[in-house]
Amino acid sequence: MRRSGPAPWTLFATLAWITVVAFGLEAVSRSIASAQTDPAGAGATDEVAPGDGFKPAIVETAPDGARKLLLGYGINNYGYIDVCGCKHKKIRQGSITRRASLLRQLRIHHPHMVLIDAGNTLFGREDRTAKDHERPQLIEKAKVLVEAYNRMGY
């Protein structure tokens, strides 16, 4: 059986690289040292945005002089611009406008934010079997998504 999405180690490696670049090697080593002396204060809280697969990871502690970093990641948008319309879900989830609104609110409190999309953003699974006359619309929808992601700061 073939898995969809990136391998777990890929995401971990990406997060580690971003951490080193954002904080610098010295700040990271101070953070590790403080986590070893105060493990209860070194945790992170996870908040899930209602719906659309976007999940910010907020690092609550930072060593002196280091900036806090908000890492937001999303996956499996499948080309949706509006809410998915899934009948089996009790809450209407998703939409680019909801994600953009959430990101605007998060930037107020977390100016240092890195956004990552892990894939399956522009097209859904059923788009692989689209008929020739449907493809131009899929391409235009993908262009709208790219523009929206650029405006959101991805």
Q: What is the CA radius of gyration of the chain?
A: 18
Residue 67: pLDDT band with limits 50, 70, 90: confident
Over 70: is that where the pLDDT of 66 sits?
yes
DSSP string, 4-65: PS--HHHHHHHHHHHHHHHHHHHHHHHHHHHHHH-GGGG-EEE---SSSSEEEEEE----TT
Range with lowest mean pLDDT among 21-30, 65-74, 79-88, 141-150:
21-30
Over 50: is that where the pLDDT of 32 sits?
no
Over 80: is that where the pLDDT of 39 sits?
no
Tokens representing residue 87 in the block: 């009948």
**Domain boundaries of the chain, sorted by first residue:** 8-152
Backbone angles phi, psi at 16, to 5 degrees: -65, -45
DSSP string, 78-134: TT-SS----TT-SS----HHHHHHHHHHHHHH-SSEEEEE-S--S--GGGGG--GGG
**Choice between 93 and 58, residue whose per-residue pLDDT is larger:** 93
How many residues are present in the chain? 154
Mean pLDDT over 69-79 rounds to 85
Phi/psi-derived region of residue 119, left when phi > 0, alpha when psi is between -120 and 50, beta in every other case: left
Residue 12: pLDDT band with limits 50, 70, 90: low
Euclidean distance between CA atoms 32 and 94, whole angstroms: 36
Q: Which sign, positive or negative, has the C-alpha torsion 92, 78, 45, 27?
A: negative
Name the range with the highest mean pLDDT among 34-43, 64-73, 116-125.
116-125
